[in-house]
Chain A
């Protein structure tokens, strides 16, 4: 017979294994904060770059053409790719250290499951964004990227820390608003990818990273 304390430890062990074997818990709140800062910087840079083109006020948002249009397209693609690369690096970087601190392997079946569930909607959204750029539908970039990103987070949220789903719902909401109020697209994009990431990052950092 084991004593009561040992049975209590058994229960703790069961809970911990169930948690570790289903959820990807190596995501650090700091990734969120850094991704948010990157989006603020990239989005702010776009704001600064585009403010004289009339692209933000709606004057040329729907009607940009010729040299101006190619200039804006090239800028948005470059800005977007740089932000994407920096965001991926910071997510991997902080997850690596969080996994090590928690004594977990960074690459296991929970990581694979999260990447697949994030990856399918994100890749579809990414391809959709490329098609939009090819067809000069630049005013749809903000709502579409917010919507697909939000849906990806909701989809993968079951296998991640619970706050991720709420972040997903918030992004979808902003995406819908960006589709309705298209002149505010960039502003809402910066809110969704910048401000929300930082807010959720801080909440999750305080709740999970500082706790243990």
Chain B
């Protein structure tokens, strides 16, 4: 890799987004509360970062109804996985320098 910094993705500069992507990389699907517990952030904060990732089409939002309660779960998209892996490669490249 010539310039690892070029592989870094601005979207993942935020720790919360980094956390969401990390959790979704290793889980088939994760719900809002699990992410909230894991990352220790407020509802509003988490929701805004999820929205940003959704806008980039990096995550897939799946809304379902369990009885009458809405249940939202999140999955990583193929584009998201690729983007995150590239970002990880960039980070590792930086460390090697």
Q: Are B27 and A4 in contact (CB under 8 A)?
A: no
Contact flag A14-B18 (CB < 8 Å), given A7-B94, A108-B34, A108-B37: yes
- Interface pick from A15-23, A54-62, A114-122: A15-23
Contact flag A14-B22 (CB < 8 Å), given A7-B91, A7-B94, A7-B95: yes
In the assembled complex, A105 has its CB within 8 A of some CB on chain B: yes
Q: How far is the CB of A114 from chain B (nearest CB, A)?
A: 14
Which residue from chain B places its CB closest to the CB of A22 in the assembled complex? B26
Q: Are B26 and A18 in contact (CB under 8 A)?
A: yes
Instruction: List A contacts of B23 (CB < 8 A).
Output: 17-18, 21
Main secondary structure of the interface of A (DSSP, over half): helix
Q: How far is the CB of A18 from chain B (nearest CB, A)?
A: 5
Q: How far is the CB of B7 from chain A (nearest CB, A)?
A: 12
The 0/1 profile, CB within 8 Å of A marked 1, for residues 7-48 of chain B is: 000000101001100110111001100100111000000000
The 0/1 profile, CB within 8 Å of A marked 1, for residues 51-93 of chain B is: 0000000000000000000000000000000000000100110
In the assembled complex, A2 has its CB within 8 A of some CB on chain B: yes
Instruction: List A contacts of B34 (CB < 8 A).
Output: 21, 108-109
Q: Sort chain B's interface into a size bin.
A: 20 to 34
> Which one, A1, A17, A108, contacts B19 given CB within 8 A?
A17
In the assembled complex, A8 has its CB within 8 A of some CB on chain B: yes
In the assembled complex, A11 has its CB within 8 A of some CB on chain B: yes
A-B contact count (CB 8 A): 50
Contact flag A10-B91 (CB < 8 Å), given A2-B13, A17-B38, A109-B34: yes
Task: Compute how far the CA of A105 lies from the CA of B13 in the bound complex, rounded to whole angstroms.
Answer: 27
Instruction: List B contacts of A7 (CB < 8 A).
Output: 91, 94-95
The 0/1 profile, CB within 8 Å of B marked 1, for residues 93-125 of chain A is: 000000000000100110000000000000000
Instruction: List A contacts of B18 (CB < 8 A).
Output: 10, 13-14
Q: Are A13 and B22 in contact (CB under 8 A)?
A: yes
Q: How far is the CB of A43 from chain B (nearest CB, A)?
A: 39
Instruction: List B contacts of A17 (CB < 8 A).
Output: 19, 22-23, 38-39
Instruction: List B contacts of A11 (CB < 8 A).
Output: 88, 91-92, 95
Q: Are A21 and B91 in contact (CB under 8 A)?
A: no
Task: Compute how far the CA of A41 lies from the CA of B73 in the bound complex, rounded to whole angstroms.
Answer: 46
Task: Compute how far the CA of A17 lies from the CA of B95 in the bound complex, rounded to whole angstroms.
Answer: 19
26 residue pairs bridging A and B, Cβ less than 8 Å apart: A1-B5, A2-B13, A7-B94, A8-B95, A10-B15, A10-B18, A10-B91, A11-B88, A13-B15, A14-B19, A14-B22, A14-B88, A17-B19, A17-B22, A18-B22, A18-B23, A18-B26, A21-B22, A21-B23, A21-B27, A21-B30, A21-B34, A22-B27, A108-B37, A109-B31, A109-B34
Residues of B within 8 A of A (CB): 5, 13, 15, 18-19, 22-23, 25-27, 30-31, 34, 37-39, 88, 91-92, 94-95
